[in-house]
Each structure stands twice: as structure tokens, then as C-alpha cells.
């Protein structure tokens, strides 16, 4: 509702309330005064009629001739007069014919009759069942010489009072309407001066609430409204400045949080999560609905929850290393929790989750690497040292025996040389320092060349190597030497672990966007529990047997890194005593197959 209409209704209410009070008072007072005047007049008339009746019927019994007297006096004073005897029988009435008087009901129960009988004077205002209108009745007791003869009653209809009251209320209503019209005129005049600046200020306030802080107020008046308008302008300017600062700070904070590689979680003073950054959001499946929950409801770790509680209660920085299961893998976090205390009041705490999973893995790999290399080097070095010392310290005249010692030393030296070469190759592959020379190569040609390398070893064990389902020409874009090394390692591995008389089968398949190569053998197989670790460096299923066969434990790991470097995949299927099948894939992107 507009201000000018509010102003109009306010003025109207100010007039209406006193008017209603005055109207109630005036009508009530006027009605009371009119009724009192009528009552006084009727009382005088009743007393006058009483005196006449008592004088005319002194020392005589009344008769029905009283009806004539009543009608005559009623005609003279122009009022309705009724005479009721001591038994309540109507003996005379100015409004009723003599013949009908006998049909009038008993009036001894009328209130004015009872009052007059008890106190010589009675007044009643009630509805007349005879005339069907409201009447005022004034009764006077007639008892000459103490003998109760009856009651004379004078009545007058109250229609005149009702008409007068209606005229009075109409006059007051007319006055009120005139006042309302006057108020409307005044409102139009005043509202033009007052409502326009108020509406202008209201419009500006609404725009400010919507975020439009460039709005200006021009009230065009002086005084309080002018001061208010200028204050609104200053407020809008100050709010715009503050909002701009807050928005900039928020954007800076959001940019920092988005750019952080660490996870961030903020809780309020009640320990409920209020903010998480993208890193935590992506790590844990419950994070999208984390706001409003406690940390333990999202990350099932009691130590983390206890850390938040301790920081909120004591204020000291809390650090903990957490191992948490995520949908991808188990993660290890170095978590630091500190209290938020703006203006010396605790408002929550913030936790920073630093992912140290890779660091822990690297530490473990380093420890395992040192342990494995030390172990792998100890055996051949011990043998070389022992036989070398024997050759140096003893006078061996047997040339064949000396040559045998020298061959053993050479064997172990070659083993060490192979180990070093494999370590260097693996290091270059892991560090991605080896530059891949990718060209269009025919997988079948590389496979045939790799088979020739291992064929002498296979023939010594009477192993058959055959190629199945391999097109004569299937092209991929890859480093020929590295793919050849991977195939040689897989074939050599199959030769080593396949008993004499067994077979090795190579399958090359065109799988659409990839080429799949599988090397299957009829060897000893791999236990199921070892399949997930078979491509780890230095991992052997049977360590003693592998060393006897001259393996370094790095061949499969080298295969894995070569194939991953080309964007492919490696996998294995195996069953104990039935053989193994090592497979890898090479993408055919940017290659031309024919």
C-alpha cells in the first residue's frame, strides 16, 4: 500500500475513533434524555388521571362506565390510557372498543402493574403484543381511602424516539462523510509533499536490498526526510564498498582453496562442517553433503574427531597422521588442525589435509629397493670374492680347475652386469628420461625378431614357440627397440619358467583401437595371491628358483614401464601347474593399419 493511502487511512482512523465514541455517547445520552422527558410527561398525566378517577368514584364502587371516562380523557391528552382493576381485568382502554374489552387477557402480570401495585408508581418499556410496537408504560395506583381499586396506565409508542435517533445518526454520519472528504482533500495536498520523498526513499531501499548500490535518492525536501535521503545515499555507497571488499576477499579465498593441492575442512564452534575445498570434495564420496555434519560422519576416523574437539576446547594446534580409505585407494594424510579466533573469540577450527601417500610409498620403495639391491648384489659378489681369493691365495697348478673358477667368476660378473643394466633401464623408464623414438612399426616383424633372440635358450629345453592369430602386417606407432625389449623379456620369462618339452604361444590381436599381444606358456604358473605384485621390481614368487635361473627380478617391471610409457596396459592370467599368459596392449592412435 502506498504511503499516501496509509496517511489517508491514518487520518481517517484518527477521526473515526473519536466520532464513534462521540456518536455512542450522544445517541445514548439523547435517548436517555428523551425517555426521561416522556416518562415525566406520562407520570404527570397518569397522576392527573388518577386524581380525576379517585375524585369521581369517591365512596362508590367502580363500574364499566369508567371506559367512557378513559376514552374521553385519552382524547383530550392524545395518549393511550388503560384502566386495570385490582384483579388485572382491563375495564377501559382508549384503543379498544367496549365490546372487545372482555376479550383482553389478564394484565395482572404486566411489569408496570406489579410495580404500581407495590410502590404506587410503575414504569416499563416493552414490546406491545396488542399494537406490535415498542411502548413506554407509566402506571399509577388508584386506592382512594386505602382501598385498592386498580391501576391507570398511560402509554406512548416509542416510534418517535426511534425516528429521532435515526435522524440524529444520519446527521452524524453525514458529518463524518464530510470529514472524510475533507481528509481526502488534505491527504492529496499533504501526500504530494510527504509521500513522494518517502516513496523515493522506499524505492531506493528496495533497489539496495536487491544489490543495486548505485541508486541515488533525491527527496527534494528539507528536514528529517532530506537527512534520511542523504543518509541512504551514504549507506548505499558504504555498503557497495564493503560488499566489493568482501567479494574480492571471498574470490581470493576461493582461488586459493581451488589452487591448493591439500584438502581443507572448516568447522564452526559447534564442530559442524561449514566449508570444504575441491580436493576433499573429490576424495570422499560423502563430501557433497558434508555441510552441517561433523567430521566423523564424513571421514570415519575417531582420532580426527577428537583432534577437532581438542582444538576447539583447548586452542592448541593438533597434528596427526591419518590413514583413510577412499574409493580409489587407501590414502595417508598429514593433518594439521588450528583454531579460528577472529576478534579473540573462538568461531571454529580449520584442518589442512596434506596427502603424503606418495611420499610414504616412495619411502617404502626406497627401503625395499636398497634391501633388494643389497640382497641381489651380495650373492654374486660373495661368489666372485671367494673364487677370486682362492685363485690369489692358493697355488693352483690344475689349469682346468683355475679355468672353472674363472668361468664361475665370469658368470657372476655377467649376472651383476645384467642387474646393473636392468636397474639403469628401469631408472630411465621411471624417470621418463628415455626419449621414445616412435615410428610406424610392424608388430609381427618385431615379434619374429624377438623370438630369434630367445630361440637358442628354448631349443636347449626342447620348447616350441609358435605364433597364432597374428596378421603378417599389423602397424602401430611405437619405439621399436623398447617394444622389442618388452617382448624379449616376456619370452625369456616364459622360457625360464616352462619345464622341458613345454610350449610357448604368442597371440597378436587387432582389438580396434588397440593391438593386444599375449605370451602364453605351459609353465609352473603363479599363485593367485602373487598376481597383483608380479610386476613389482625384485618381486619373485620363488626367490631361490628365480636366482638359479639367472633372473634379476626386474624384467616384468621393465615390461610394465615400457608399455605404460606407450599409453598401453599390462595384465596377467595364470593358474598353478597349468601355465601363465602375460598380455599387453598398444594404442593404434596415429597409426595406419593395413
**Among residues 536, 539, 544, which one has the least CA distance to residue 570?**
536
**Among residues 593, 378, 325, 381, which one has the least CA distance to residue 472?**
593
Quick one: pLDDT at residue 193?
Answer: 67
Domain assignment of residue 177, yes or no: no
Q: Taking 50 as the threshold, does the pLDDT of residue 106 lie above it?
A: yes
Q: Taking 80 as the threshold, does the pLDDT of residue 433 lie above it?
A: no
Task: Please give the share of the chain, as a percent, with pLDDT higher than 90.
Answer: 13
**Among residues 51, 236, 41, which one has the least CA distance to residue 136?**
41
Q: Which of 355, 380, 415 is the last residue of a domain?
A: 355
Domain that holds residue 448: 435-587
Q: Looking at the structure, do residues 385 and 513 belong to the same domain, yes or no? A: no
**Among residues 303, 293, 312, which one has the least CA distance to residue 350?**
312
Domain assignment of residue 85, yes or no: yes
Could you give phi then psi for residue 248, rounded to 5 degrees? Answer: -65, -45
Least trusted range by pLDDT, from 390-399, 483-492, 568-577:
390-399
**Better-predicted residue by pLDDT, 283 or 143:** 143
Q: Which residues on neighbouring strands pair with residue 570, listed in sequence order?
A: 584
Q: Taking 80 as the threshold, does the pLDDT of residue 215 lie above it?
A: no
Q: Looking at the structure, do residues 270 and 223 belong to the same domain, yes or no? A: no
Q: Looking at the structure, do residues 252 and 372 belong to the same domain, yes or no? A: no
Quick one: pLDDT at residue 592?
Answer: 43
Domain assignment of residue 152, yes or no: yes
Rounded to 5°, angle at Cα 355 from 349 and 360: 135
Among all chains, which residue has been given the C-alpha cell 408504560? 137
Q: Helix or strand or coil: residue 457?
A: helix
Q: Looking at the structure, do residues 334 and 387 belong to the same domain, yes or no? A: no
> For the residues 535-561, what does the mean pLDDT come to?
67
Q: Looking at the structure, do residues 324 and 369 belong to the same domain, yes or no? A: no
Give the span between the Cα atoms of 174 and 166, in whole angstroms.
12
Q: Looking at the structure, do residues 157 and 22 belong to the same domain, yes or no? A: yes
Give the span between the Cα atoms of 322 and 335, in whole angstroms.
7
Q: Looking at the structure, do residues 313 and 401 belong to the same domain, yes or no? A: no
* Contact in structure between 551 and 542 (CB atoms under 8 Å): no
CATH code, domain carrying 501: 3.30.565.10
Overall domain count for the chain: 5
List the grid coordinates of 431. 624417470
Q: Looking at the structure, do residues 266 and 396 belong to the same domain, yes or no? A: no
Q: Taking 50 as the threshold, does the pLDDT of residue 64 lie above it?
A: no
> For the residues 175-188, what does the mean pLDDT come to?
74
Domain assignment of residue 20, yes or no: yes
**Better-predicted residue by pLDDT, 214 or 397:** 214
Domain assignment of residue 188, yes or no: no
Q: Which of 141-150, 241-250, 251-260, 479-488 has the highest mean pLDDT?
A: 479-488
List the grid coordinates of 364. 617404502
Quick one: pLDDT at residue 63?
Answer: 47
Domain assignment of residue 117, yes or no: yes
Among all chains, which residue has been given the C-alpha cell 621414445? 436
Q: How confident is the model at residue 449 (pLDDT cuts 50, 70, 90)?
A: very high
CATH code, domain carrying 49: 3.30.450.20
Backbone torsion region of residue 526, taken as left when φ is above 0, otherwise alpha when ψ lies between -120 and 50, otherwise beta: beta
Q: Looking at the structure, do residues 465 and 573 belong to the same domain, yes or no? A: yes
Domain assignment of residue 522, yes or no: yes
DSSP 8-state code for residue 529 = G
Domain assignment of residue 48, yes or no: yes
**Better-predicted residue by pLDDT, 46 or 180:** 46
Q: Looking at the structure, do residues 385 and 324 belong to the same domain, yes or no? A: no
DSSP H or E run through 486: helix 480-496
Give the span between the Cα atoms of 177 and 184, in whole angstroms.
10
Give the span between the Cα atoms of 191 and 186, in whole angstroms.
8
Model pLDDT for residues 378-415, shown as the tens digit of each residue: 767 777 777 787 778 766 667 777 778 788 788 777 76
Where helices occur in 336-398 by DSSP H, the ranges are 357-393
pTM score: 0.41
Amino acid at each position: 500500500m502506498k504511503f499516501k493511502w496509509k496517511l489517508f487511512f491514518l487520518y481517517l482512523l484518527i477521526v473515526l475513533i473519536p466520532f464513534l465514541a462521540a456518536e455512542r455517547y450522544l445517541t445514548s445520552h439523547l435517548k436517555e434524555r428523551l425517555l426521561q422527558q416522556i416518562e415525566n410527561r406520562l407520570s404527570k398525566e397518569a397522576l392527573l388521571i388518577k386524581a380525576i378517577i379517585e375524585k369521581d368514584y369517591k365512596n362508590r364502587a367502580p363500574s364499566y362506565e369508567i371506559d367512557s371516562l378513559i376514552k374521553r380523557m385519552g382524547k383530550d391528552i392524545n395518549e393511550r390510557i388503560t384502566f386495570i382493576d385490582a384483579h388485572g381485568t382491563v375495564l377501559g382502554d382508549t384503543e379498544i372498543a367496549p365490546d372487545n374489552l372482555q376479550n383482553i387477557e389478564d394484565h395482572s402480570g404486566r411489569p408496570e402493574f406489579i410495580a404500581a401495585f407495590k410502590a404506587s408508581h410503575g414504569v416499563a418499556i416493552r414490546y406491545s403484543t396488542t399494537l406490535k410496537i415498542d411502548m413506554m408504560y407509566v402506571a399509577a395506583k388508584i386506592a382512594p381511602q386505602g382501598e385498592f381499586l386498580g391501576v391507570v396506565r398511560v402509554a406512548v409508542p416509542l416510534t418517535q424516539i426511534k425516528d429521532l435517533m435515526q435522524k440524529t445518526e444520519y446527521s452524524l454520519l453525514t458529518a463524518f462523510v464530510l470529514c472524510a472528504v475533507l481528509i481526502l482533500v488534505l491527504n492529496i495536498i499533504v501526500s504530494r509533499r510527504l509521500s513522494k520523498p518517502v516513496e523515493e526513499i522506499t524505492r531506493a531501499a528496495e533497489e539496495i536490498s536487491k544489490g543495486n548500490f548505485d541508486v541515488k535518492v533525491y527527496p527534494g525536501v528539507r528536514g528529517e526526510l532530506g537527512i534520511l535521503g542523504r543518509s541512504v545515499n551514504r549507506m548505499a555507497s558504504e555498503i557497495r564498498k564493503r560488499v566489493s571488499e568482501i567479494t574480492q576477499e571471498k574470490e581470493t579465498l576461493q582461488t586459493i582453496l581451488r589452487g591448493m593441492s591439500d584438502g581443507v575442512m572448516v568447522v564452526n564452534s559447534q564442530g559442524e562442517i561449514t566449508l570444504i575445498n575441491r580436493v576433499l570434495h573429490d576424495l570422499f564420496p560423502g563430501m557433497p553433503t558434508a555441510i552441517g555434519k561433523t567430521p566423523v560422519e564424513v571421514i570415519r576416523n575417531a582420532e580426527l574427531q577428537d583432534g577437532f574437539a581438542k582444538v576447539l576446547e583447548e586452542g592448541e594446534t593438533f597434528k596427526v597422521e591419518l590413514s583413510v580409505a577412499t574409493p580409489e585407494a587407501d590414502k595417508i594424510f598429514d593433518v594439521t588442525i588450528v583454531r579460528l579466533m577472529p576478534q579473540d573469540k573462538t568461531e571454529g577450527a580449520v584442518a589442512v589435509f596434506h596427502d603424503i601417500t606418495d611420499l610414504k610409498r616412495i619411502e617404502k620403495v626406497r627401503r625395499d629397493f636398497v634391501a633388494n639391491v643389497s640382497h641381489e648384489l651380495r650373492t654374486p659378489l660373495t661368489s666372485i670374492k671367494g673364487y677370486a681369493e682362492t685363485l690369489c691365495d692358493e697355488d693352483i697348478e690344475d689349469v682346468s680347475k683355475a679355468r672353472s673358477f674363472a668361468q664361475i667368476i665370469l658368470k657372476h660378473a655377467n649376472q651383476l652386469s645384467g642387474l646393473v643394466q636392468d636397474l639403469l633401464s628401469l631408472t630411465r623408464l621411471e624417470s621418463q628420461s628415455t626419449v621414445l623414438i616412435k615410428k610406424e612399426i610392424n608388430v609381427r616383424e618385431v615379434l619374429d625378431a624377438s623370438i630369434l633372440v630367445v630361440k637358442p635358450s628354448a631349443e636347449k629345453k626342447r620348447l616350441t614357440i609358435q605364433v597364432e592369430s597374428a596378421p603378417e602386417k599389423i602397424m602401430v606407432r611405437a619405439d621399436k627397440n623398447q617394444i622389442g625389449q618388452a617382448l624379449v623379456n616376456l619370452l625369456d620369462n616364459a622360457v625360464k619358467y616352462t619345464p622341458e618339452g613345454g610350449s610357448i604361444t604368442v597371440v597378436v590381436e587387432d582389438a580396434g583401437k588397440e593391438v593386444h599381444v599375449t605370451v602364453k606358456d605351459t609353465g609352473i604358473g603363479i599363485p593367485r595371491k602373487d598376481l597383483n605384485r608380479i610386476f613389482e621390481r625384485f618381486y619373485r614368487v620363488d626367490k631361490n628358483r628365480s636366482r638359479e635361473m639367472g633372473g634379476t627380478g626386474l624384467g616384468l617391471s621393465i615390461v610394465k614401464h615400457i608399455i605404460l610409457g606407450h599409453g598401453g596396459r599390462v595384465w596377467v592370467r595364470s593358474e598353478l601347474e597349468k601355465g601363465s599368459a602375460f598380455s599387453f596392449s598398444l594404442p593404434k592412435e596415429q597409426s595406419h593399419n593395413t
